[in-house]
Amino acid sequence: MDFLFVLLLLGCLCSLVLSDQQGDALIELRKSLNASGQQLNDWNENQVNPCTWSRVNCDLNSNVIQVSLAMMGFPGHLTPKIGALKYLQTLSLQGNAITGDIPKEFGNLTSLVWLDLENNRLTGEIPSSLGNLEKLQFLALSQNNLSGTIPESLANISSLNEIQLDSNNLSGRIPQKLFQLSKYNFSGNNLDCGVSYGQPCAHNNADQGSSHKPTGLIIGVSIAFITIVVIGGLLLFWCKGRHKGYKREVFVDVAELKCCLSSTRYSLCSSLGVAFEITIMVKKLEREKRLEAIVDRNLNKNYNMQEVEMMIKVALLCTQATSEDRPLMSEVVRMLEGEGLAERWEEWQHVEVNRRQEYDRLQRRFDWGEDSVYNQDAIELSGGR
């Protein structure tokens, strides 16, 4: 019985020592980051267990497994003491102003699955000790001032799915195994990737199976536009029926359209809503030659604007009101190959000009009629009788 009691006591003491180590490491991290008095003010170094602290998560055994300190404006540096967090799985420090090197002690975080240090001011080289993180799946060091080469050890992390190293000062050779990852981005450096080297500097697994020509994208875009035109039309008809006799309003929210382009392949990310609003917005941007407004800014103009214009033109041709006016799928494919798009676009532009003029004319009539019914001046009545 005494022996069992001793074992339990030793277990408790070990737990307290572990908690102390974890708490000490986090306190050192807060100090090194130069957190203000209003930041992380519940991180109390007199507490043995840090699991009650904000932005810290623990497992059932009181092991710190997650620290999330993103977008807090920390201007300090990273402490080597953080290597004591043996059970840490997620470390998020992106979007601060952290300077200095990445400590080699980060390689002691052997349970780490997610490491995000992007959009800081880190300098120096990527420590080769990061190759010790055998469970790491996501690594983001982009938008810093890191220099030197990419350590070969990173290519030996078999669990790694995504690596983001863009917008640094890295140079030299990229380990070939990293080109096999589901997602990667090495652009904005002086690395051996790009057209000259036969390896794209950025890749997204969502693009696998598509050709370098954007045929698959346009087919998807066309179907999406046609679908939202039908849905939008039905919604508008239903709303007009319910509000007949009242002043016309917009009854549904405006959707956001975003065109996401990778450096070599293209994919479309769209949030579907009112078809008319989307189409009008895209038409306006096309007329004003401002289609770059719907291209992901993170690409840093690393795309072909002529291909973007071609995709949008074909997609808009597929939004016409009747099936007779819309191009057949075989025509879509031919237009993507450069056959007949210019002629079909010019013909449609003439129709669009006439349609806009007719719409403006009807709109003026409608507004005049609305004013004549609803915007009468108030008439002062006589007093009660």
Structure confidence by residue, pLDDT tens digits, 290-313: 777 667 666 666 767 777 777 787
Q: Which 3-state string (H, E, C) describes the chain?
A: CHHHHHHHHHHHHHHHHHHHHHHHHHHHHHHHCCCCCCCCCCCCCCCCCHHHCCCEEECCCCCEEEEECCCCCCCCECCHHHHHCCCCCEEECCCCCCEECCCHHHHHCCCCCEEECCCCEECCECCHHHHHCCCCCEEECCCCCCEECCCHHHHHCCCCCEEECCCCEEEECCCHHHHHCCEEECCCCEECCEHHHCECCEEEHHHCCCCCCCHHHHHHHHHHHHHHHHHHHHHHHHHHHHCCCCCCCCCCCCCCEEEEECCCCEEEEECCCCHHHHHHHHHHHHHCCCHHHHECHHHCCCCCHHHHHHHHHHHHHCCCCCCCCCCCHHHHHHHHCCCCHHHHHHHHHHHHHHHHHHHHHHHHHHHHHHHHHHCCCCCCCCCCC
For residues 99 and 78, give the distance between their C-alpha atoms in angstroms, rounded to a whole number: 8
Domain(s) labelled CATH 3.80.10.10 in the chain stretch across: 14-205
Q: How far apart are CA 174 and CA 193, in angstroms?
A: 8
Strand ordering across the sheet containing 169-172: 147-148, 169-172, 190-191
8 A C-beta contact, residue 116 and residue 91: yes
Taking 80 as the threshold, does the pLDDT of residue 343 lie above it? Answer: no
**Other CB atoms closer than 10 Å to residue 347's CB: what's the count?**
12
Q: Which superfamily, per CATH, for 14-205?
A: Ribonuclease Inhibitor (3.80.10.10)
Could you tell me the end-to-end alpha-carbon distance of the chain, in angstroms, rounded to an integer? Answer: 101
Q: Which residue from 154, 111, 116, 151 is spatially nearest to 135, judged by alpha carbons?
A: 111
**Mean pLDDT, the chain, integer:** 74
Q: How confident is the model at residue 280 (pLDDT cuts 50, 70, 90)?
A: low
Is the whole-model pTM more than 0.85? Answer: no
**Residue 26: is its pLDDT beyond 50?**
yes
Residue 290 has φ and ψ, to the nearest 5°, of -125, 35
State percent of the chain over pLDDT 70. Answer: 60
- Residue where the block lists tokens 């129709």: 351
90 pairs with which residues across the strands? 66, 114
Output the pLDDT for position 310: 77
232-275 pLDDT tens trace: 554 454 444 444 433 333 232 333 333 333 333 333 333 333 44
One-letter amino acid of 191 = L
CA gap 245, 229 in Å, rounded? 25
Is 187 in contact with 165 (CB distance < 8 Å)?
A: no
User: In this predicted model, what pLDDT tens digit does every residue of 55-89 receive, in sequence order?
Assistant: 999 999 999 999 999 999 999 999 999 999 999 99
Which of 101-115, 222-236, 276-290, 329-343 has the least mean pLDDT?
Answer: 222-236
Give the orientation angle of helix 329-336 with respect to helix 305-317, to 10 degrees: 160
Q: Which tens digits make up the pLDDT trace of 161-217? A: 999 999 999 999 999 999 999 999 999 999 999 888 888 999 987 544 443 444 444
